[in-house]
Each structure stands twice: as C-alpha cells, then as structure tokens.
Amino acid sequence: MGKILHVLAAVFLFSGAAEAKDGLVIGVAQFPASLHPYISSQTVQYFTIGFALRPVSAFDAAGNRVCLICETLPTLGNGLAKIENLPEGARGLAVTIKIRPGLAWGDGEPVTAKDIAFTWNLARQPTSGFITTYAWSRATGVDVVDDRTAVLHLDQTYVTYQMWDHLLPEHLEGKLAAATGPTAAMDYINHTNYAVSPLNPGLWNGPYVVSGYQSGVSVELSPNPHWPGPAPAIKHISVRLVDNTAALAANLLSGDVDFSPSGIGITTDQAVALERDHPERFQFFYRKGLSYERIDLQEANKPLADLRVRKALLLATDRKTLIDRLFYGHATPALSWINELEPNFTTDVPSYPFDPAQARTLLKEAGYTPGPDGIGRNAAGDRLSFEFSTTSGNRIRELSQQVMQNQWKAIGVEVFIKNQPSRTFFGDTMRKRAFTGLAEYANSGRVGLPATPYYSSRSIPTQANNYTGQNWSGFNNPEMDRAMQAAEVELDPAKQRALWTTMQTVYAAALPELPLYFRQDPDVVPAWLKGYEATGKEDYQSFYAENWHP
C-alpha cells in the first residue's frame, strides 16, 4: 500500500509541475548585485529588472531596434532625428524622444520628459559611479519640450542614436541626489532607493513592480496596476537563486522551479540531458547569440602585461575540445568580441589555434624556463603563477577552469582557482579591478555598437572616476581608441566596415583578454508557457514578459 501511495504522489507531483499556472518561478544560478540599472553589470541583473523597468528602446527577437517606452523610434527619415550644424563645421544630431501615452511609474506618477533630463544629467557626471554612461554621455544638452517630449542634442552623428537606456524616476531619485550636496554624484550610488527601498513601486515603469526582495534569495514581481500596455497574464513571478546549476536542474525536475533562462540558468549539457529524458515537460530554445565568454587579464600584473605570455595562454587553450565536450557543439570559438551575427564581422585577423608547442616557445622567449615541477620561472626565480576567478556555482565554468588549468600547467603556467559568488565578483572584484590575475565572465553585445564601454581607455574604472566603466583589464591602445571613436559617428557603411576591421585587427594583435567562445545558451521553458520568444541575438527575454501566458 505504501508503495502505491508513493507512486501516486510522484504522479501527482509530476502532473502538477506540468500544469499551466498563473505564477512562474524562474531559477537562476546568480543573484543581482544591484537592482539599479546603472550600478553593477550582470545578465541576471538586467534580466530581473527587465520585468519591471524598461529601457527607452531595445532589440526584439528578430534583431530589430524597437521602442519599449518611447512612442516612435527616431530615424532620420521620420524627422525625429535631425542633423545639426555645430560650430567650426562639426555636425551633430538632435534626437526627439516622445514617451508613450499613459506610461506611469508603479506609484501612479507619470513617466515624463523630466525623467529623461534627470537621468541624462546624473549619468553624465564623471563620478556618478555608473558602470556605463554611454547612452547618455553622447548628449551635450536636453530640451524638455512638454511632459512627454524631450530633444537630446548629440555632439556628433552617432550611429547608435536610436539606442537609449533606462530612465530613472526624477520624483524619487531627484530628491535623493539633490539632498546629498556637492558630492551628489559620488554619494548617489550609496543612497539610491533601488538599494535601500527596492519595494517602492515608484521605481518601476514596466508591466511588473518589485513586490518582494530578499537579498541573495529572491526577487518577487507583481503586475503594475498603472501599466498602459497589455495586462500581464502571469500574475506572480519569482526570480529565485539556486546555489548551483546542478541543484537548479534538480529543481526543474521536481517542479519547484518552472523556468531556467539562458546564460544565468542551467548549463548546456544539463539542458541537453533534460531534452533527451523529459522532452514533454519543457520547451528548449538554443539560439545563436552575442553572449561572449572571455577571460580578462590584469595588465597591472607584470607577466600578463607581456604579449608573449598572453598569446601563450590562448595558444595552450583547446577551445574546440571545450566546446565539443561541454557544450555539445552549442558554441563557436571567438576570434574577438565580435561574432558572425555582426554585419561587420571579419575572419581576416590574427588567430590562435591550439598549439601548445608554440606556446612553450613564446614563454621561453619571454624569459620563463620550467623548474623542477614544470612551472616556468624567470631569471629572478619568480614563478609564472596567477589567480583565476569566475562566478562560483556555474558547473560548466568550473569544469572549463579545471581543463584550462591542466592545459596551462602543461606549458609551465600555474593557476590557482579562486571563485566568488556572482554579486561579489561583479560587485567589487571586477568593478574595482581588484582581481590580480585572470577573470572569466561573459557579456552580451549589441549589433552595430562599437566596444567603447569595454575597450576604450576612457572606460577604465578608477577610484578618481568612482569606478565608472567596464574596461576591467585596463586596455589602453590609441589606435583602438581612434577607430572606436570614428566608428561611433561614421554613417557611411563602407567606411564603417573598414573601421570595424581595424578594431578587430588591433584587438586580435594586442589580446587585451583571452577570447573563448560565443555561447548558444539554452532557455528551458515550461511546456505550458505560451508567447515566449528567445531573444538570443540581442536584448533580454523579460523585456517582452507581458506577452507570456498559460
């Protein structure tokens, strides 16, 4: 009798997990270091706040730029973007952003052009502490035309003039910034409502608001009663941290978790196993994407500042085997931060196929000779040894670390693995460039956007600029700077392509980081969820969550 009850209970649990519901539990293997859109930089952060806070514009699943909270996408053709003549023969752009009718913050206050002006003004402060200010720092001024309309004046003809990020609520954050006195920008990140009172509905302008928050545990989301778009059919969403990807896979099977998003959920090998064993319970999406896995190198570390050492590390990394064994082919080796989805991609750049013999030769040229234990030493007896960090709990990253650790040991390089929780890794270690050796992570690019936030010398975070920027390796190359700056404003496609070729060539020759691969991360979605589209190539799935339904 006991066995029969056990079987019936198992059947009940299985069928319950597969039934359509009006709530959704999303399991993630990382937790946001911040819910503020400009503090920290994590996929899990942007995915989570994407339910409740929308950027002005974004890419859709087809890779097209669309309005999310603006009414009409600005173009030169529709007149919402216009060439402006500037002093001394320069040209700029006047870009009109008109906020969609009826858009309101979760406390009922309208989203207005004042929010645009406030966000622009705060982001352009050199000590704002924002991870990236690229969208707003392009503008030298803002004219508030009426409650819903603002004109941003760009000092150059930026090709990314349609790209505008999240707005901040002036009626809440404006008072806070003003109250902190002369050091407002420097102090703001420590006092923002997104950190001290994230349940304030006035912080959110999407179809959901944050209705529950436990640091390091979960973020709860409920419908925004003031959202002017389609009312969300999913009445409660919980984004829940599960400590590691193995536990997350088990939670999917038990029904405690419904959904695992790409890049921050279960790993590709786990998704392949689920698809093989339980195809009826889930939908599986593998899309080519811009999720770029790389290893940053601390250039303040003297051996890593030597190009020969950097080349040796990459030549000794068998990326094809990593992809075949860990991703079952659902990834492609990277030549640089640009992949084949980018129209300006080129293969005509230096490449570094697996060649451990050449790696050993380069280390010898750099002055490192293997000691009795096989680890290289220079003339002073210093060991060729580094710390190697990434986000803890990600099974594939931890496995690939071990593989690379062994491959590098074979050429005389010693690494010690020292991983950290995602919020610590991205919160201070990377943001303040506190890593000492190698640091592995991924970022998602945007088609047509030069890599200024990652490789410009202006984007190197320092204490003086309150750690603004994402050039965490400290890459400083004048030729790269010139090419990126020119590519940002060149409207001629042929000239644009030539500039992108220069950027890719400089990157591949200088190797400011170790390019690993572009992942095709799996979205594992419950079979009952309809209206879901994997964005893959561009922005976050949560930007379109109001279209999801049972």
Distance, in Å, from the CA atom of 67 to the CA atom of 462, rounded to the nearest integer, reads 34
How many angstroms separate the Cα of 294 from the Cα of each of 419, 512, 525?
15, 10, 27
How many angstroms separate the Cα of 130 from the Cα of each of 115, 134, 245?
17, 10, 30
Given the structure tokens 């999407």, which residue do they identify?
206
Structure tokens at 276: 């093989």
What pLDDT does residue 436 have?
Answer: 94
Q: Are strands 236-241 and 23-28 parallel, antiparallel or unpaired?
A: parallel
Amino acid at the residue 524: V
The closest alpha carbon to 474, from 295, 292, 298, belongs to 298
Given the structure tokens 């050796």, which residue do they identify?
437
DSSP annotation string for 443-479: EE--TT--SHHHH-GGG---TTTTS--S-TT----HH
Domain ranges of the chain: 19-53+206-287+522-547, 57-176, 291-519
pLDDT in tens, the chain (550 residues): 443 333 333 333 333 444 567 899 999 998 998 999 998 878 899 999 999 999 999 988 777 889 999 999 999 999 999 999 998 888 999 999 999 999 999 999 999 999 999 999 998 887 777 887 878 989 999 999 999 999 999 999 998 899 999 999 999 999 877 754 555 556 788 889 999 999 999 999 999 999 999 999 999 999 999 999 999 999 999 999 998 888 999 999 999 999 999 888 998 889 999 999 999 999 999 877 777 899 999 989 999 999 999 999 999 999 999 888 888 888 889 999 988 878 899 999 999 999 999 999 999 999 999 999 999 999 999 999 999 999 998 878 898 999 999 999 999 999 999 999 988 998 889 989 999 999 999 887 667 777 888 899 989 999 888 888 889 999 999 999 999 989 988 888 899 999 999 999 999 999 999 999 988 888 999 999 999 988 755 578 899 999 999 9
The closest alpha carbon to 405, from 474, 509, 322, 473, belongs to 322
For 291-519, the fitting CATH number among 3.40.50.300, 2.40.50.180, 3.10.105.10, 3.40.50.980 is 3.10.105.10
Distance, in Å, from the CA atom of 408 to the CA atom of 411, rounded to the nearest integer, reads 5
What pLDDT does residue 23 have?
Answer: 94
Distance, in Å, from the CA atom of 526 to the CA atom of 523, rounded to the nearest integer, reads 10
Q: Are strands 291-297 and 282-286 parallel, antiparallel or unpaired?
A: unpaired
Structure tokens at 389: 């960090």
Residues in the chain: 550
Q: Are strands 91-98 and 81-85 parallel, antiparallel or unpaired?
A: antiparallel
Tell me the sheet residues that pair with 473: none
Q: Are strands 513-519 and 438-444 parallel, antiparallel or unpaired?
A: unpaired
What pLDDT does residue 12 have?
Answer: 35
Locate all alpha helices (DSSP H) within 55-151, ordered by sequence.
113-123, 134-137
In eight-state DSSP terms, residue 26 is: E
What pLDDT does residue 185 have?
Answer: 56
Enter the CATH code of domain 57-176.
Answer: 3.90.76.10
Distance, in Å, from the CA atom of 39 to the CA atom of 469, rounded to the nearest integer, reads 10
24-51 burial, b for 16+ CB within 10 Å, e for fewer?
bbbbbbbbbbbbbbbbbbbbbbbbbbbb
User: pTM for this one?
Assistant: 0.73
Superfamily of domain 19-53+206-287+522-547: Periplasmic binding protein-like II (3.40.190.10)
